[in-house]
Amino acid sequence: MKEIVMNNSLRKKMMTGMAAAGLAAVLLASGCSTTVQSAPEAAKSLESGGPLPSSVTGFLGADASKLAPGPEGGAALAWLNPNAQWSSYTKIQLLPVEFWAAADSKISTADQAVLTEYFYNQLQTNLSKSFTLVDQPGPGVMTLRIALMDATTAVPGLRTISVIVPQARVLNLAQSMATDSYAFVGSAEAEMKMTDSVTGQVLGEAVDQRAGGMGIKSAASFQWGDAQNAMDYWSQKIPNRILQLQGKPAQS
């Protein structure tokens, strides 16, 4: 009888270990990205039939009403002009990145300046790989206007633990399943509007939000690290999306 009890106990431990290992495997397989998409308030409002946030309508104007859920792997909300001749644009006028947030935003003006300057520099670096950047409107020039709508900080020490320590990673997976967000992460939300620089015709617009993922790159993240990673992601995604619309290969 004692042997049977011991075997049952051992079996339970083995089953518990296997379950934990399985959960950890799922986490490692599905949560290894540096950032993950999360639903911005505009997407939630659109889904519930409510009005779009004033930050969206204020930045995009009347064209905000054309927004719809974006494609798989794309922005949370997007709209593309079906009549746009994408292949005719070889130059981009990149305007300074703006910061649009509620009046009670907790982000200081100094941090706003640092974040928008960083975003602009990353965009400039990646766009210049495939397009000529200009500072004036003209034929074949697309004007790209981008705003950082908001950003939240990560909790650096706990952020590191949640990524590196196996038990914490498993618990964080459970957290993400319940809330659609990992614990202790930061985030960023941005809007984009592309227009013909001469006619002002809207070519496309998008709204997206990304939060910190569970990639090892995020482990030693400082308070704005997750927001920075989100901006890095968009800075690479935007030129590749334009190239895709032009029927050209993406940047490596």
Could you tell me if residue 26 is inside a domain?
no
Is 10 a domain residue?
A: no
Q: Where are the alpha helices (DSSP H) in 61-128?
A: 109-127
pLDDT of res. 219 = 46
More confident residue, 178 or 119: 119
**Would you say residue 88 lies in a domain?**
yes
> Mean of the pLDDT values across residues 61-72?
92
Strand (E) or helix (H) holding 172: helix 166-179
Q: Based on the structure, what is the number of domains in the chain? A: 1
What pLDDT sits at residue 154?
52
Q: Is residue 101 part of a domain?
A: yes
**pLDDT score of 66 more than 90:** yes
pLDDT above 90 (res 69): yes
**Per the domain annotation, does 21 fall within a domain?**
no
**Digit-coded pLDDT (tens) for 76-128:** 999 999 999 999 999 999 999 999 876 667 788 888 888 899 999 999 999 99
Task: Give Cβ neighbours of residue 229 (< 8 Å, ≥ 6 apart).
Answer: 34, 35, 210, 212, 213, 217, 218, 221
Report the pLDDT averaged over residues 27-56. Answer: 75
Residue 9 falls within a domain, yes or no? Answer: no
User: For the segment 125-166, what is each residue's pLDDT rounded down to a tens digit?
Assistant: 999 999 999 999 999 999 999 998 877 655 443 333 333 344
Q: How confident is the model at residue 221 (pLDDT cuts 50, 70, 90)?
A: low
Question: Is 73 a member of any domain?
Answer: yes
Give me the sign of the Cα torsion angle 198, 200, 202, 205: positive
Query: Based on the number of CB atoms within 10 Å of its own CB, is 19 exposed (0-12), middle (13-18) or buried (19 or more)?
Result: exposed
Q: What is the pLDDT of residues 183-218, one digit of tens each?
A: 435 778 899 999 999 999 999 999 998 887 554 454
Domain of 99, in residue numbers: 31-245
pLDDT of residue 119: 93
Output the pLDDT for position 152. 62
Task: Dig out the tokens for 21 from the structure.
Answer: 């290992």
Q: Provide the strand spans (E) within the chain.
A: 35-37, 68-69, 77-80, 91-94, 98-99, 132-134, 141-152, 187-196, 202-212
Residue 134: give its domain's CATH number: 3.40.50
78 or 43, greater pLDDT: 78
Q: What is the mean pLDDT of the chain?
A: 76
Domain membership of residue 1 (yes or no) is no
Residues facing 209 on adjacent strands = 189
**Is pLDDT larger for residue 231 or for residue 12?**
231
With bands split at pLDDT 50, 70 and 90, how would you rate the model's confidence at 181?
Answer: very low
